[in-house]
Structure 1
Amino acid sequence: MTDRSGRPRRFNPFTALGPGLITGAADDDPSGIATYSQAGAGFGLQMLWTVVLTYPFMAAFQSVCARIGRVSGRGLASNIKRVFPPWVVISVVGLLLVANILNIAADLASMGEAAALVIGGDQHLYTAGFALLTLALQIFVPYHRYVRFLKWLTLALFAYVAVAFIVHAPWREVLHATFRPKLKFTAAEATLVVAVFGTTISPYLFFWQASEEVEDIAPAGQHPLTEAPREAPAALKRIGWDTYVGMGFSNLIAFFIILSTAVTLHAAGVTEIKTAGQAANALRPIAGDFAFALFALGIIGTGLLAIPTLAGSAAYAFSETLGWKEGLERRLRDATGFYGVIAVAILAGLALSYSPLDPIQALFWSAVVNGVIAVPLMAVIMLVATRRSIMGRFTATFVQRVVGWAAVAIMAMASAVMFTQLGAG
């Protein structure tokens, strides 16, 4: 990267944060908060190790996705289409849309529930308001402005760090449980470990980060690295920093959600949590009104961050597959199909949140669909990242290949456990 005088710009660790930070923060959506809350409430401190273990795999895999977008100047679906038959891409993108709509439904319901708990009023009105707000922001605010809004929203997640310090965690026990856990491998424990892995490493994050890297190329006066190799050192350094910090932030917040619910709810005998709002409400008599309010407001903040990511990732994937113009920087009239998918995803999620399908069922089926597509999609992404016809001389590094394929193997095992549990049930 150079400034106007043509001299290389100094690396700024703060301005370098972008797609990776937002992607990581969006991973801690209300449905993720519910999963982490259940981990803490059900098993206490003994689930803290899971977010430490998932970090290197999540970070390495997301950096591969970001690299594909920055190097090729195309999103994941567009690149997958160059390597695999159309039916492969259409199948994956169709399942992604279904999973994201179910996830949006669960997140909207949790946000409405949290708002009603904090300020009172009709939960359904809040749910509809949040849906329409996120839809309007994506359609009418250009990406270069909208992304600033998303960056500021990541601060909402610090609420969960604050909660953990308000309730005075036993830090020696925390360290012991994190790095020397006592594993029992019961069916319930195995199922929840799978849920944590599935929540942490999710297909929609792959598409979103790759596409946002593409979005950032033109406004910054840059080019795909296959066309401008001289930009590679600065660009790849930024991607590494952005992604590893962003995923670290994501897992840090997950760690503190498990921690805060473990030392409050689990310690008080509350072991069953179904929604993020229920976790917030259960905190009130145990940890006080301030901790309750922080937890609930965090649900709303991260929901406003996650829903655009869920809807946007589906829209990018669909548009790239069908050859439509796409991008949050485009006007509505220039990318009607792209924005149409965003609208369908959010409004369908809103409709489901009013339907008899409760948030728990929505999360369950979202996890199932993600379990179906995660492993083959991850394998496909790794094959794309190592193909010279797409990546030129900027194929995935040796470390990215090793850790990326290890992530594929771990998710394969997690999916196998999930389907075994479903069959046993």
Structure 2
Amino acid sequence: MTKPDSASSDPWWKRLGGGLVTGAADDDPSGVATYSQVGAQFGYATLWALVLALPLMIGIQTVSARIGRVTGRGLADNMVRNFPKGLVWGITVLLIIANVINIGADLGAMGAAVNLLIGGPTLLYACVLAIVSTVLQVYVPFNRYSPILKFLALSLLTYVATVFVIKVPWGEAMKGTFIPAFQGTAAYATAVVAILGTTISPYLFSWQAAQEVEEIRDSDEREPLKHADEQAPDAFKRIAIDTSVGMVVSNVVAFFIILTAAVVLHAHGKTDIQSSSEAAEALKPVAGKFAFALFSMGIVGTGMLAVPVLAGATAFSVAGTMQAVYGLEHKPADAKLFYGVLVASMLVGALLNLTPIDPVKALYWSAVVNGVCAVPMMVAIMIIANRPKTMGNHGVGRGLRVLGWVATLVMLAAAVVMFATMGKGG
């Protein structure tokens, strides 16, 4: 009989799932805007932050995935069983606000990218993409929808390809990557915090844990490891491979986006980029139409991947907190609250594009909310991961404990810096 989490007989690419999709979703259009702005403003001087973030991302995402695989429950479901409900609701409300703002910003960026490519009404494109994404999430079964998300991860290759149609001074780039060039300004500190906050985000924790739960429910063989110790070795190997590959992909793509902006925009005096579509448009006169087209197509592809992750993470969190039925493998009639939150998140996000709200300011406040939300959520994750009552014999080992707590402390420091520099100039 095939092992439920076969990590030895299957090729490594067949073991990729929730970790790959989570990592790919991290490079959403809002993230592209952040990385483009940082690269345009500071050139290669912040690339080192991605090297710092990578092991921390792998650590906290692996812990999140393990919680889902061991318990068979999502993060919010576990949190409400271990902590006061008021605290969990506080975190959940912050997550809802940040995710919905991000959905709106991503949909707007996707509509703008389509407009750049073919012309036409940006808002209509954003609404159409929102409808298509919502229908796929609600009416396509998870075991058929999951491969679609994995396929969309290939859209990230457009950002890698962009670098190979421009001339990169690799010596300077490598220096910025491995030798931190600190600048004592509020603007620089904010840029580093933005990179950390974009790469290590609360919705990613929720999504990856939930994907482990979905895989258990979709399989006749997988069981929560708390009740199936014999499945643990293969499961943990698969999670380690899946998460490591996903986070490496995420950070490599982020690296190439910052690098592209540094080479094409910063080097030519274009230091103020406010959106992903503006970054794409700025590439055209300097890097050519091909680089512009690749960058624009990447915005649409990553958006179609990230928006369902944002909406799904919101639905998993709310339904888990309320102890309601949740999961994409359920039919809408059997998980009304879960799908109701999912659809409402998409609807409100789309409607934000019809309001006079400044999307740049909205994303700024989304980052602030994420900064407030991330630290208590990470503390909760690390406590749950080492609680025998919840994890049985499968609490995380010393290495993951160290990585997870270091990631939490780094995010706490980032939040402190963020609030200390709010409203200050460079």
Give the Cα–Cα distance (whole angstroms) in 1 for the partners of residues 209 and 180 of structure 2: 35
Could you state the TM-score of these two structures normalised by the residue count of structure 2? Answer: 0.97
Unaligned 5+ residue runs, structure 2? none
Contact 1:41 1:270 in 2 (8 A): yes
1:239 corresponding residue in structure 2: 239
Alignment of 1:328 onto 2:328: yes
Secondary structure of 2:44's aligned partner: helix
Alignment of 1:225 onto 2:213: no
1:95 corresponding residue in structure 2: 94
1:202-221 matches, cutoff 5 A: 202-220=201-219, 221=221
CA deviation after TM superposition for structure 1 residue 357, in Å: 0.8
CA deviation after TM superposition for structure 1 residue 423, in Å: 5.5
1:23 corresponding residue in structure 2: 22
Contact 2:46 2:181 in 1 (8 A): no
1:134 corresponding residue in structure 2: 133
Give the Cα–Cα distance (whole angstroms) in 2 for the partners of residues 48 and 99 of structure 1: 25
Give the Cα–Cα distance (whole angstroms) in 2 for the partners of residues 8 and 200 of structure 1: 27
Give the Cα–Cα distance (whole angstroms) in 2 for the partners of residues 287 and 106 of structure 1: 26
CA distances 1:145-185 after superposition (whole Å, capped 9, x unpaired): 10100000001011111111110211122112211132223
Give the Cα–Cα distance (whole angstroms) in 2 for the partners of residues 222 and 98 of structure 1: 34
1:417 corresponding residue in structure 2: 417
CA deviation after TM superposition for structure 1 residue 120, in Å: 0.5
Contact 1:71 1:394 in 2 (8 A): yes
1:148 corresponding residue in structure 2: 147
CA distances 1:232-290 after superposition (whole Å, capped 9, x unpaired): 01000000000011000000000000011111111111000000000000000000000
> CA 1:8/1:344 → structure 2, altered by over 3 Å: closer, same or farther?
closer
Give the Cα–Cα distance (whole angstroms) in 2 for the partners of residues 287 and 351 of structure 1: 34
Contact 2:79 2:384 in 1 (8 A): yes
Secondary structure of 1:218's aligned partner: helix
Secondary structure of 2:225's aligned partner: coil
Q: Which amino acid aligns with 1:124?
A: L
Give the Cα–Cα distance (whole angstroms) in 1 for the partners of residues 176 and 322 of structure 2: 48
Contact 2:7 2:15 in 1 (8 A): no
1:154-233 matches, cutoff 5 A: 154-220=153-219, 221-233=221-233
CA distances 1:365-388 after superposition (whole Å, capped 9, x unpaired): 111111111111111110000101
CA deviation after TM superposition for structure 1 residue 358, in Å: 2.0
Q: Which runs of 4 or more aligned residues in structure 1 lie more than 4 Å from their structure 2 counterparts after TM superposition? A: none
Give the Cα–Cα distance (whole angstroms) in 1 for the partners of residues 364 and 266 of structure 2: 23
Alignment of 1:374 onto 2:349: no
Contact 2:117 2:296 in 1 (8 A): yes
Contact 2:29 2:302 in 1 (8 A): yes
> CA 1:324/1:41 → structure 2, altered by over 3 Å: closer, same or farther?
same
Give the Cα–Cα distance (whole angstroms) in 2 for the partners of residues 71 and 193 of structure 1: 34
Give the Cα–Cα distance (whole angstroms) in 2 for the partners of residues 162 and 135 of structure 1: 29
1:12 corresponding residue in structure 2: 11
Alignment of 1:357 onto 2:357: yes
Contact 1:139 1:339 in 2 (8 A): yes
Q: CA-atom RMSD, angstroms?
A: 1.5
Secondary structure of 1:124's aligned partner: helix
What percent of counterpart residues are identical? 51
2:317 corresponding residue in structure 1: 317
Give the Cα–Cα distance (whole angstroms) in 2 for the partners of residues 24 and 397 of structure 1: 23
Give the Cα–Cα distance (whole angstroms) in 2 for the partners of residues 420 and 164 of structure 1: 35
Unaligned 5+ residue runs, structure 1? none
1:53 corresponding residue in structure 2: 52
Give the Cα–Cα distance (whole angstroms) in 1 for the partners of residues 408 and 401 of structure 2: 10
CA distances 1:308-337 after superposition (whole Å, capped 9, x unpaired): 000000101111111211111111111111
Give the Cα–Cα distance (whole angstroms) in 2 for the partners of residues 77 and 180 of structure 1: 39
Contact 1:3 1:9 in 2 (8 A): no
Give the Cα–Cα distance (whole angstroms) in 2 for the partners of residues 176 and 365 of structure 1: 32
1:289 corresponding residue in structure 2: 289
Give the Cα–Cα distance (whole angstroms) in 1 for the partners of residues 218 and 74 of structure 2: 16
Q: Which amino acid aligns with 1:197?
A: L
